[in-house]
Structure 1
Amino acid sequence: MTEPLVRVEDAGTVRTLSLNRPAALNSFTTELHAALAAALDAAAQDAGVRCVVLTGSGRAFCAGQDLADPAVAPDPTPGAPPKDLGHMISTYYAPLVVRLRSMPVPVVAAVNGVAAGAGANLALCCDLVVAARSASFLQAFAKIGLVPDTGGTWLLPRLVGSARALGIAMLGDKLAAEEAARLGLIWQCVDDAALAETVAALALKLAGMPTRALVATRQAMAAAQHMDLQAALAEEARLQRELGAAPDYREGVEAFRAKRAPVFKDR
């Protein structure tokens, strides 16, 4: 049987999605895009899933776009029209970013190897990024005459500031996971042998937390980047009003008073 392009594994309420083109360093094709979109949609719709882990099979997380894919490979025929890369972005990469940033549960990227180009920004679109010490991040776009995509132009300045973002994007140098963590580009860098255990513990912790509040936190922080202080305060009040009427708030307060572990169920 043919191996699936995205492997799906459940461990309780945590679902792990593994990009599964290891021979091609899990680089994107239109088929892989379709498989990942379907897997993310299925996780979003499954009430039993409370956290998603995104990782790669083999020795890479994701090497970005597969440049041998006919959808993007330049046609060497003299006079042939150029490939419309904008169509590729709007049809596949932009919806992928929107899907990740709108997931109804926390998403953790477990970066097990190289994350390059769109693969680097795919990881950065997740809520928390944990990388193996041997992993690396590479904004490879300038090396082939392109700009960062998959949300890179939006994400990088917000994560590390405009000066570092421009340096990372324009120079296209490989950034070691340890340096990425030091700069605040990712959440955590751990020894390779500890990656699986660290991510499993983190995902389990997130799965046991109030999911709606975590997702609202992601949304509020993104929205606040475009607001003044008064608008952000008003949005906080709106969200607290909404969340304060939900069962998880009541459960959290009751558990605190009773000195017991809470059991959150909202999603």
Structure 2
Amino acid sequence: MLLQERDGSILTITLNMPEKRNPISDVAVVDAICTAFEEADRDISVRCVILTGAGTAFSAGGDLKQMRPDSGGLRSGNPVETRRNYKYGIQRLPLMFQALEVPVVAAVNGHAIGAGLDLATMCDVRVAAESAKFAESFVKLGIIPGDGGAWLLPRIVGFSRATELALTGEMIDAAEALKIGLVSHVVPNDDLLGKAREIAAKIAANPPHAVRMTKRLLREGQMADLKNILEMSAAMQSLAHNTRDNDEAINAFIEKRAPVFTGE
């Protein structure tokens, strides 16, 4: 259900269920995604991860066939059991992505619908193919964003636009996604992974500890006040100043040469 390809310090993870349009609601899929990303996060030699989908979809979100009562999916005939299915199933994804320190670039190759859109918003940077489509479409199924979309989407596109997307369930194309800041770049389909790798390579070229701590500060900045962020910044800066990569960056600048960062 997942493919992993390592190219130097960049890891590409591909959702590989194209016949089902890469659903992410099944517990086994959640387990696989969490395991792959948590392993990458523990490995400091992985400096950036690219997440994409196989086939014509990034992710269609939930598997509708498993949304009938007692179908073995998230929905149960018992409301209490349904709550637990969400808590110990798909809701693990936003919590896991929020805790990651390794940067993640989403290469949105096709439809990102419902939980698939929310999965893209869990990533740090989003690049879209021209054929990509996006929809926060839960309301059209008579349900709500059960995987954190109500928290994630407004922080990216603003409250008004997020509310419009969530309450209408309308689908937008890649050009509109770029206009509202949902994605950073839109490129021809054949150039998608190339663009994602270009961004990942620029990230990976920097000292990995500084990159990961910077990402942590940006994530915490979504919730913490300035005073707490400054306190955290001072603590992390004391760590960053004590790395060999910091010394290498300074020496390379003075010596007018390209730095070589080792993650030490």
TM-score (norm 2): 0.90
Q: Which one of 148, 151, 169 corresponds to residue 151 of structure 1?
A: 148
Whether contact under 8 Å (1:75, 1:82) holds in the other structure is no
The 3-state SS of whatever aligns with 1:122 is helix
The 3-state SS of whatever aligns with 2:224 is coil
Structure 1 gap segments, 5+ residues each:
none
Q: Which amino acid aligns with 1:230?
A: K
Query: What whole-Å deviation, never above 9, does each CA across 1:24-71 have from its counterpart, x for those lacking one?
Result: 0001222222222222222223343221111101111000011223xx
TM-score (norm 1): 0.89
CA distance in 2, matches of 1:257, 1:136: 47
CA distance in 2, matches of 1:208, 1:47: 13
Residue 223 of structure 1 deviates from its aligned partner by: 2.0
Deviates more, 1:43-52 or 1:23-32: 43-52
Q: Which amino acid aligns with 2:224?
A: M
* Match of residue 118 from structure 2: 121
Residue 9 of structure 1 deviates from its aligned partner by: 0.9
> How many matched pairs?
258
CA distance in 2, matches of 1:61, 1:115: 5
Structure 2 gap segments, 5+ residues each:
72-76
1:83–1:66 distance in 2 versus 1, CA, 3 Å = farther
* Match of residue 68 from structure 2: 73
Residue 141 of structure 1 deviates from its aligned partner by: 0.9
The 3-state SS of whatever aligns with 1:185 is coil
* Match of residue 132 from structure 1: 129
Residue 165 of structure 1 deviates from its aligned partner by: 1.2
Deviates more, 1:36-45 or 1:177-186: 36-45
Percent of aligned positions that are identical: 38
Whether contact under 8 Å (2:101, 2:213) holds in the other structure is no
Q: Which amino acid aligns with 2:64?
A: L
CA distance in 1, matches of 2:254, 2:155: 38
CA distance in 2, matches of 1:257, 1:173: 54
The 3-state SS of whatever aligns with 2:262 is coil
Does residue 23 of the first structure (1) align with residue 23 of the second (2)? no
Residue 93 of structure 1 deviates from its aligned partner by: 2.1
Whether contact under 8 Å (1:113, 1:136) holds in the other structure is yes
- When the two chains are superposed, the root-mean-square deviation of aligned CA atoms in Å is 2.0
1:216–1:151 distance in 2 versus 1, CA, 3 Å = farther
